[in-house]
Chains A and B, each alone.
Chain A
């Protein structure tokens, strides 16, 4: 409810006294506010910036975070304030919303950051005030467009094919993305070449050539070198037919393919030839045959497969269909009006060109588009007056929809350019992602190779090896999985080596403990069934520093250790000292420091990692890790 309404509620309730004398039944008892407190000032600390506000102010909107009991989760007993680890600048706007009832969108902020803050505080963006709503929506739309394109670029079909694709799928892919294979590229260029040849042939065959001996008249080249042109035409049509049939065969959905624009163009490009073959050399139908040859010019549209710009143009026209329609409609209206007027104005003149209204259409169009051929001119005064009005209005009517079309084209063109840039960068990005993934795995393998699981009595420092507690725990998790399945992680290189040397039974040197267990895979778990012993005769990867004040990273482990892992889930703090003694490897990566005595400062229990990895404020390595993981 709006702030105003909530404030006036006591007044409305007090005014209900007026109903008392009239009531038919007994009035219900008023609700007892159990926890009614006098209004107090609350302190809200957002990343160090302290805000103070009345409690009532926040209570105005009970379905948001600050207005409900949800804020109790963020209450800090010691400092008696609510602490939020969020952006203090944005919080100003959020708090203003509670105070004034209107949410404003700060123009200099990033739209996504703003949205995230709103989501965190539980405020629905719909209540942005009218003053800022438009700007907000525009920015949001723009952002969403960009994101949609990004995801499209990511799913771009430059991704490698799934391993088991049929030849049909591969063929289709080769057609759609010529850069994927050299064969496709060759085919792409060949078809392009033949389209060009065909179009040029069409054009050249109408050029007048020198007449053959004994004739005075100039002959078009087409008729002089009939055979040559016919052969060229046949070759082109053969190629086009072949291409069309191959595409038809490879298309995943043939019906959809046949309805698509490009395939229609393909058909129209090759049909005249076949019809010409089939049709007899008859005088009557040869007229129609000639018309059919006009359709051969449609071959030029086949270039749109080869040219991005053409496609953009076509797409722009399609998206501006409504504007174009409006233009056409208004033009038609104006033409009819002016043609009628001109016709009647010039009717009286002798020998006038304006013989009928349809004849006047031509004059109107030529005048409105400011062409002015001069083959039809008005003679009467009235005709001239209306003629001038016609040309003036023509400029206006045509100029109106054009900017819309232009802006559309510009937007689409820019989008396309960005998409291309994204595609180019995508390769780099994919490589980076793969590197990050490998980094994590390599860290684990590296750790194993260095005998991380060896029994260590001596140097505690060695166990640490400069890794954050997060890394420790993550490695532990991976190790538990290894133990569950009794297989080890390796990297690609060693894997391929092993594949080659498997028959020889050659074992690469691994950490001894593990390899020794490998051999006894069948016997190592005689009575355990599913659960592999996570027991290691060697050290634990017990979590980092001796005094774990706050283990923020919490990885709950289900399967790998099963029942026996539960034990150390209850591990007490002292158990988690860095000892490299013989312990069961348990899934307990959670250490909840039970007595505060162990923890010098504010011991905060582990925060969940299932929804994500929380910050371990002490681990400087952490942010690096998060970056690594989040880039996956």
Chain B
């Protein structure tokens, strides 16, 4: 898709006070302005009002227009006070950050949301697959799934009932692969994934009626 050039105002980074107490403080911001409303409307399934509202919230929290990974992790961790959500937030961040440049812009954010909220079943499954596929090579391996699983269990924290055993994530991964990996080749491809999920009653029952 052709995008209008983004306006980016980049200045030198903030100098640490300790390093240069005497020299001028480098006052700087990295800023990002999003594309116009019309373009975003075309790219997503949100209405103008919805985009406006989303942007207002986004801008309020991130005046610079970009969310970096640390901020994202901090924010996401606040929802899971008992556990450690940083690893999972990392994977989530990569799933949102489409062009892998280390920060989420408003466009990335809104496009991701559009898929998750308004996309078709296939699109949403695609998104989930993209989340699990850590290295984005088109295959979910057991190791990738194990990492994801561990990060999810990490969010539970220590005080759970029953307490999380160390093997719980790997058992979970085994079950997942048993179900998803049709040809038993050790990896789950996007087709296997979508096919299996679509056959799953739970998935289809409530996603057919859109």
Q: Which A residues contact B (CB, under 8 angstroms)?
A: 63, 65, 68-70, 72-75, 85, 116, 119-120, 122, 124-126, 137, 140-141, 144-145, 148, 437-438, 440-441, 474, 477-478, 481-482, 484-485, 487-492, 494-495, 498-499, 502, 508, 510, 518, 525, 527-531, 533, 535, 552, 554-556, 558-559, 562-564, 566-570, 584, 586, 590, 592, 603-612, 614, 629-630, 632
Cβ–Cβ < 8 Å partners of A603 in chain B: 49
Cβ–Cβ < 8 Å partners of A478 in chain B: 79-80
Q: Which of B71, B82, B168, B210 has the most CB of A within 10 A?
A: B82
Interchain CA distance A533-B202 in the complex, whole Å:
8
Cβ–Cβ < 8 Å partners of B78 in chain A: 629-630, 632
Interchain CA distance A335-B183 in the complex, whole Å:
93
Cβ–Cβ < 8 Å partners of A566 in chain B: 116, 121, 124-125, 203, 206-207
Interchain CA distance A17-B197 in the complex, whole Å:
69
Q: Which B residues contact A (CB, under 8 angstroms)?
A: 7, 9, 11, 17-18, 21, 24-25, 27-29, 31, 33-34, 36-37, 46-47, 49-64, 67, 71-72, 75-82, 88, 92, 95-96, 109, 112-113, 116-118, 121, 124-125, 128, 131, 148, 152-153, 155-164, 168, 172-173, 175-180, 196-197, 200, 202-203, 205-207, 209-210
Cβ-defined contact, A528 with B202, below 8 A: yes
Cβ-defined contact, B57 with A552, below 8 A: yes
Cβ-defined contact, A567 with B205, below 8 A: yes
Least CB distance, B46 to chain A, in whole angstroms: 7
Cβ–Cβ < 8 Å partners of A72 in chain B: 36-37
Cβ-defined contact, B64 with A119, below 8 A: yes
Cβ-defined contact, B17 with A145, below 8 A: yes
Given A74-B56, A554-B113, A607-B53, 18 extra CB contacts under 8 A: A69-B37, A120-B59, A124-B28, A148-B17, A441-B82, A485-B160, A490-B159, A495-B163, A552-B57, A563-B128, A567-B207, A570-B207, A570-B210, A584-B202, A584-B205, A605-B53, A608-B57, A611-B58
Cβ-defined contact, B92 with A612, below 8 A: no
Least CB distance, A609 to chain B, in whole angstroms: 8
Cβ–Cβ < 8 Å partners of A529 in chain B: 175-180, 196
Least CB distance, B130 to chain A, in whole angstroms: 10
Cβ–Cβ < 8 Å partners of B76 in chain A: 610
Cβ-defined contact, A564 with B56, below 8 A: no
A-B contact pairs, 23 of them (CB 8 A): A487-B161, A490-B159, A491-B159, A492-B159, A499-B163, A518-B161, A527-B200, A531-B202, A554-B113, A556-B116, A558-B92, A558-B95, A559-B131, A563-B203, A566-B121, A567-B207, A584-B206, A607-B54, A607-B58, A611-B71, A612-B61, A614-B57, A632-B81
Cβ-defined contact, B79 with A124, below 8 A: no
Q: Which residue from chain A places its CB closest to the CB of B194 in the assembled complex? A: A563
Cβ–Cβ < 8 Å partners of B200 in chain A: 527-528, 531, 563-564
Once A531-B202, A559-B152 are accepted as A-B contacts, the answer to whether A490 and B160 lie under 8 Å apart by CB is yes
Cβ–Cβ < 8 Å partners of B109 in chain A: 608, 610-611
Least CB distance, A503 to chain B, in whole angstroms: 12
Least CB distance, A277 to chain B, in whole angstroms: 45
